């Protein structure tokens, strides 16, 4: 219950048969923690798009899908840095006629902001319970210490004998 689930699926695969989606449905049936991430949108066949998924018509999730464009193997081999890759990803969504209307809610940067915001809300919601658990644990430990009694003071003679016995 304390985990976020990124159900990552390539756009050129049928989402209905995605292992990530199947597993997320098993462990998060209400879909409260599942973030659908559709990758490789730029590699889809000409004349096709992922709008049915991204707009929630073909496979609806409680939290809307986020499309991303990964660096290509060529970009990796050419050491294209992540800043340039993110810029190209933003340009892809902004200039592609199929996705331009969704551009503000697509890409790795948007996904990072979405996850951060969700994680922050989860943390805020759970802090009172965590604080209560910590306080109960402290109370339990203090009660146990009280039950065990006060520590016995050790004088210098007993301390030297204990040190001698521990060194043997």
pLDDT higher at 98 or 145: 98
Q: What is the mean pLDDT of residues 35-45?
A: 92
Residues spanned by the domain of 158? 127-166
Query: Alpha-carbon distance 107 to 100, whole Å?
Result: 12
Same domain, 112 and 162: no
DSSP 8-state class, residue 79: T
pLDDT value, residue 71: 84
Same domain, 22 and 63: yes
Q: Let me know: does 66 contact 36? Beta carbons within 8 Å.
A: yes
User: What CATH number did the domain enclosing 68 receive?
Assistant: 3.40.50.300
Same domain, 35 and 108: yes
pLDDT value, residue 59: 83
> Is residue 137 over pLDDT 70?
yes
Same domain, 119 and 135: no
Query: Alpha-carbon distance 103 to 68, whole Å?
Result: 10
Q: Let me know: does 31 contact 61? Beta carbons within 8 Å.
A: yes
Q: How many domains does the chain have?
A: 2
And the tokens for 6? Answer: 């990124």
pLDDT value, residue 58: 85
Q: Is the dihedral of CA 100, 101, 104, 107 positive or negative?
A: negative
Q: Which helix (H) or strand (E) segment is 77 a member of?
A: helix 73-77
Same domain, 62 and 118: yes
Q: Helices in the chain by DSSP H: which ranges?
A: 19-27, 51-54, 73-77, 82-95, 108-148, 156-167
Query: Alpha-carbon distance 76 to 144, whole Å?
Result: 58
Same domain, 138 and 71: no
Same domain, 116 and 140: no
């Amino acid at each position: 219950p304390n985990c976020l689930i990124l159900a990552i699926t390539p756009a050129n695969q049928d989402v209905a048969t995605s292992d990530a989606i199947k597993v997320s449905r098993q462990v998060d049936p209400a879909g409260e923690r599942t973030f659908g991430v559709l990758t490789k949108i730029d590699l889809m066949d000409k004349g096709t798009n992922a709008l049915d998924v991204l707009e929630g018509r073909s496979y609806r999730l409680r939290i809307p899908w986020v499309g991303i464009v990964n660096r290509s193997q060529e970009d990796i081999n050419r050491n294209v840095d992540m800043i340039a890759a993110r810029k190209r990803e933003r340009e892809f969504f902004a200039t592609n006629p199929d996705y331009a209307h969704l551009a503000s809610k697509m890409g790795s940067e948007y996904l990072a902001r979405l996850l951060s915001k969700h994680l922050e809300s989860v943390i805020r919601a759970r802090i009172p319970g965590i604080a209560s658990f910590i306080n109960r644990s402290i109370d339990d430990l203090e009660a146990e210490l009280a039950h065990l009694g006060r520590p016995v003071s050790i004088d210098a003679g007993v301390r030297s004998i204990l040190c001698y016995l521990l060194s043997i």
